[in-house]
Amino acid sequence: MDAPTPTLYLDRPEDVAVAARALAGGAVVAAAFANFYVIVTRPDAATVRRVNLAKGRPIHQVGSITTAVGRIPAMFDWSRISPRLPVGRVRALMDALYGAGPFGFRGPAADRLPEHLTQIDQGLRTTQVIAPGLTCPSNAFFERALAETGSDHLYITSANRSRHLTGAAEEPAHWKAGGLAADFAHLDDLVVLAHRDEAAARAAYPGYLTTSVTLLSFHAPEGELEEPPVLTVDRHGSLHLDEVRRAAAPLGLQVRLGGAARQRLQVRGYAGALV
């Protein structure tokens, strides 16, 4: 029988350092992230493809990125934002939504980001930045991992097996470390950096479901010229659309659901007791 995956804890600086060094060495880190878990690795193409295969995804599926909160604006090319959309308003919306909790933005990608972490949409090269929010202790892990890798961004993906592998209509992200470790037991270099108290982590985000983040795109605002710009929710996840609209409205921005976001993401259920 394989040995159980050792668990490190997000509130222990020495464990954060171990996880960051392991990531820099090529390991797959399942990290506590606000009220659930994500998978984080180095951003190189070979590692991203290995994780795609481990999850059962197509090998060349484009990945998302994460970084320390203060570095997020530098992931985007603000010169390619629509002239209809004042940069200051978008930056203010980022501050509001990342300041409150886990969220994701998609916009014009900075030129230095690699092809496997960007995608073309409506003629623009875009990237998705997923972050846990300003108050999450996982920011310390990201800072340490960035220092260890010498990069300004990391690869991030949902902590689940792909529906392409399982055949399920949807495979929600894990919010319990035990279930996550069981799903990825086939990875011999998996490192779990866990919440010490998962119930407390969930309670810290009462307005958020324990699932992948809501994702808002700003690279192609819609609407008539005389109307407020309309941004699109590409994925309706942990934060409800109404809360996104409440944050956007004072900035003169409107928000609508994209076609793929009509169905809100599900929350994973667990059978039996898991650590």
Quote the Cα angle for 35-37-41, to 5°.
140
User: What superfamily would CATH give domain 7-261?
Assistant: DHBP synthase (3.90.870.10)
Residues above pLDDT 70, as percent of the chain: 94
Task: Please tell me the predicted confidence (pLDDT) of residue 167.
Answer: 62
pLDDT category of residue 272 using cuts at 50, 70 and 90: low
Please tell me the distance from the alpha carbon of residue 168 to that of residue 175, in angstroms, as a whole number.
18
Token couple for 245: 């609209």
Task: Tell me the average pLDDT of the chain.
Answer: 93
37 within 8 A of 177, measured Cβ to Cβ: yes
Task: Mark out the alpha helices in the chain (DSSP H runs).
Answer: 13-24, 45-55, 87-100, 138-149, 163-166, 177-183, 198-203, 241-248
Query: What is the maximal distance between C-alpha atoms in the chain?
Result: 65
Q: Which residue has the tokens 């997020």?
A: 72
Please tell me the distance from the alpha carbon of residue 125 to that of residue 121, in angstroms, as a whole number.
6
pLDDT category of residue 159 using cuts at 50, 70 and 90: very high
Model confidence over 186-214: pLDDT tens digits?
A: 999 999 999 999 999 999 999 999 999 99
Token couple for 1: 């029988």
Radius of gyration of the chain measured on its C-alpha atoms:
18
pLDDT category of residue 5 using cuts at 50, 70 and 90: low
From the DSSP assignment, how many helices (H) and strands (E) are in the chain? 8, 12
pTM above 0.85, yes or no: yes
Task: Please tell me the predicted confidence (pLDDT) of residue 170.
Answer: 76
Please tell me the distance from the alpha carbon of residue 266 to that of residue 87, in angstroms, as a whole number.
33
